[in-house]
Structure 1
Amino acid sequence: MVRLSIEPLTKQAFAPFGEVIEIDGAISLSINQGFAERFNDLAEIDVTAEGGQTNISWFFASMRPAPIAIRLMERHPLGSQLFMPLNGADWLVVVCTDPRKPESYRAFAATGKQGVNYARNCWHHPLLVLKAASPFLVVDRKGDGNNLEEYWLDETMQLDLMPDRHEA
């Protein structure tokens, strides 16, 4: 069994897999007569392959038992996929360059103020939350074509995460 270490989610560390969505360092605009602040261009949404369109949805994710067993990786060959937490709770991100190679896996601790935009074809684990019923805004692709590939890890390759839990 391989235990993945969990590192902080930073733009630089996550760059090979996509984009970190956060307002730290972003340029803001004062709008609505000064009663709101707008941050533009936080992600490059990539969904138009083969006539795809933007899909905006709301997910509610459940916690998995600890240690978290990493048994399935997925990727989307026709578009990026953005996840932004809506409850301010910390969460986890697991990615890899090749699901058959344990050394290519990385685990990141995201704050409740950080989202990710997985690049097209980025292998990632389905949503991993540290608080029950965690809501997420999701921006991804809808349309024709097969935009989901899954890879199930076999019994000989077991990856586990042991996060610090911040349960409600």
Structure 2
Amino acid sequence: MTLRIALAGSPVHVAAEPLTSEAFASFGSVVQNPRPDLHPSTASSSSSSAAPLPRGAVSANQGHAIQYRHASQVRDLYAERAPSRTASGPVVSVFVCAARPLSSQGTFTVCVLERHPFTTQMFSPLVSSADTYLVIVAPTLATSGADGTGASHSSAVLSSGGLPDLRHLRAFVASGKQAVTYGAGTWHAPMVVLGREGTTLDFVVTQFANGVPDEDCQVVEYEGDGCVDIRVSLKAPTTTTTSKL
């Protein structure tokens, strides 16, 4: 289901920042090797010089691997929260995402946000010709019909919680060594791959679904004078970006 919203108000300024577990914690989780400096053979040694394993890690595969347990939360909330109570199941798919062009100012324009209200969604990048992507997320407003920009709306989207809070939208730059899990109901932009024209980044996407469109995915499209511009600077962490809402 897509909800189209015409907005007016003061600009939103967002600066892209590096993706870290701490910064992303309120939106989901970042999955990556927490200790790339630690080799399995060193950690599995029985000698006194063996490197200590981090909390939650165990030596595995006869000492040839390190297993970091509970790396990300996987949740299926359909049975307890979806209005239709239609049974859900796991879905694993592959997304081949083309690199998106940036503006001459090194910014990217977003006018669509979506969420999956009853499931987590994990994007795991595969080795591809591109290796960087942009993660754009927003908190959810209270169910009041407001969207944080002065506009007011009513829609079935609100039955699963409020609209995106554009005033507190965040953007993160991720590498191909990082997977990301969006928490259930987290508003996010469709995947944005960064890189040269003609390159792609492939993702294995893991989630749950029940085949009911309004329960599997809810989409908000922002409209204004031509389009709503949510511009995220990628030049440097100190550079701000401008949205025209």
SS at match of 1:30: strand
- Structure 1 residue 153 displacement after superposition: 1.2
Conserved 8 A contact 1:62-1:134: yes
Task: Determine if the alignment matches structure 1 residue 143 to structure 2 residue 210.
Answer: yes
Q: Which residue of 2 aligns with 1:56?
A: 92
Q: How far apart, in 2, do the equivalents of 1:13 and 1:32 lie? A: 33
Conserved 8 A contact 1:98-1:104: no
CA RMSD after TM alignment: 2.2
Structure 2 stretches lacking a partner, 5+ long: 1-10, 36-53, 80-86, 142-146, 149-165, 236-245
Conserved 8 A contact 1:4-1:160: yes
More strand by share: 1
Cα deviation code 1:81-126 (max 9, x no counterpart):
0111112712110001148333211000112211111011100000
Structure number, greater radius of gyration: 2
Structure-2 change in CA distance of 1:3 and 1:48 (3 Å):
closer
Of 120, 125, 128, which residue of structure 2 is paired with 1:80?
120
Task: Determine if the alignment matches structure 1 residue 15 to structure 2 residue 25.
Answer: yes
Conserved 8 A contact 1:66-1:162: no
Number of equivalences: 164
Structure 1 stretches lacking a partner, 5+ long: none
Of 79, 95, 104, which residue of structure 1 is paired with 2:168?
104
- Structure 1 residue 48 displacement after superposition: 4.7
Q: Which residue of 2 aligns with 1:119?
A: 183
Conserved 8 A contact 2:119-2:209: no
Conserved 8 A contact 1:78-1:147: yes
Q: How far apart, in 2, do the equivalents of 1:129 and 1:33 lie? A: 37
TM-score, with structure 1 as normaliser = 0.85
